[in-house]
Structures are given as C-alpha cells and as structure tokens.
Amino acid sequence: MAARLRHIAISVPDPERAAKFFEEAFGMKVAGRAGVGLYVTDGTVNVALLKFPGEVPGFSAGHYGLIHFGMWVDDLDDAARKVVAAGGSYYMGRADDNPNTYYEVKYKDPDGVVFDLTHTGWIGAVKEVVPADAAIAAE
C-alpha cells in the first residue's frame, strides 16, 4: 500500500488569523491546538499552522521547504470569490476548461503562502476519499 499524504505544516506569523482564512476560504475546521499553533482539517488532510519562536526548523541555507499546496474545488469562480473575501489574492495563472488538462490558478493567502485552486484536479489524485469501511459496506 502506498503512503497517503494526510498532513502538511505551514509556518505562519499568526496561526489564529491563518486558521480563520482556511475556514472562510476552504470550509476547513479547526481540529485542535498544536504546540506552537493550530491544526485545521478538511476531514482527510490536516494542516498545521505554526508560529515558531525563533528560526523555522529545516529552513536554513541549502534546505528546501513547502513551495505551495493545492486545493481541489467544485467551482473555481466560487472558490476564488471566497479566497478573496477571506483576505487572499490572485497570484497567477488562468482557468483552463479543457477536461484533458490539469491546470490550476495560483493565489496567495494573507501571509503570502502560495496555493493552487483547481476544478479539474491533478493527474494521479482523486477528489473524494472513500473510507475503507464505507467501501466495504458498498460491496
């Protein structure tokens, strides 16, 4: 069985403000407190929004970190409106209605973290995750 991505961590200057953005822009819910921040979740993937008191672990010369993350949405225009209303901003890209492409539009959250919005998804990914017990019950 392949490993499943279920958690990412983002360094932010204000975890409460970042959590509010994730709630308003993406409909995610606060799942609990982290040692230096908050966890939000969509029910499948958990995002840690962390404010470190000093240097961010792993971020020094020669190290690499999060470039951006992606959100698969039902309606690109509606999602974009929610992002902007929550304090995010358009960054680059355009929607592509060709069903054979995997194109996303890039935005920035209020702290400048880049993310993608897509209504067509990414090759190799599925939009909805079916819990194992639900799959068994459907058989």
In a domain, 22, yes or no: yes
- % of the chain residues with pLDDT over 70: 79
Spatial distance between the Cα atoms of 83 and 53, rounded to a whole number of angstroms: 28
In a domain, 58, yes or no: no
For 26-55, what is the mean pLDDT? 90
C-alpha 115 chain-centroid distance: 7
Find the domain containing 29 and state its range. Answer: 7-53+66-126
**Greater pLDDT, 13 or 95:** 13
Select the highest-mean-pLDDT range: 13-27, 90-104, 117-131: 13-27
Q: Tens of pLDDT along 6-39?
A: 899 898 889 999 999 999 999 999 999 988 899 9
Q: How many domains does the chain have?
A: 1
Q: Kindly state the tokens that stand for 103.
A: 């194109």
pLDDT of residue 111 exceeding 60: yes
For 104-109, what is the mean pLDDT? 90
Residue 66 has a CB neighbour count (10 Å cut-off) of 14
For 106-130, what is the mean pLDDT? 85
**Residue 122 confidence (pLDDT):** 76
For 48-69, what is the mean pLDDT? 73
Q: Kindly state the tokens that stand for 13.
A: 């200057």
**Residue 34 confidence (pLDDT):** 85
- Classify 132 as helix, strand or coil: helix
In a domain, 135, yes or no: no
In a domain, 2, yes or no: no
**Residue 64 confidence (pLDDT):** 57
| CB contact set of 124 (below 8 Å; sequence gap of 6+) | none
The domain spanning residue 117 has which CATH number? 3.10.180.10
Give me Rg for the CA atoms of the chain: 16
In a domain, 138, yes or no: no
Q: In what order do the strands lie in the sheet with 105-108?
A: 69-72, 114-118, 105-108, 89-92
In a domain, 1, yes or no: no
| CB contact set of 121 (below 8 Å; sequence gap of 6+) | 72, 102, 127
**Residue 52 confidence (pLDDT):** 82
In a domain, 59, yes or no: no
In a domain, 136, yes or no: no
Query: Are residues 48 and 10 in contact, defined by beta-carbon separation less than 8 angstroms?
Result: yes
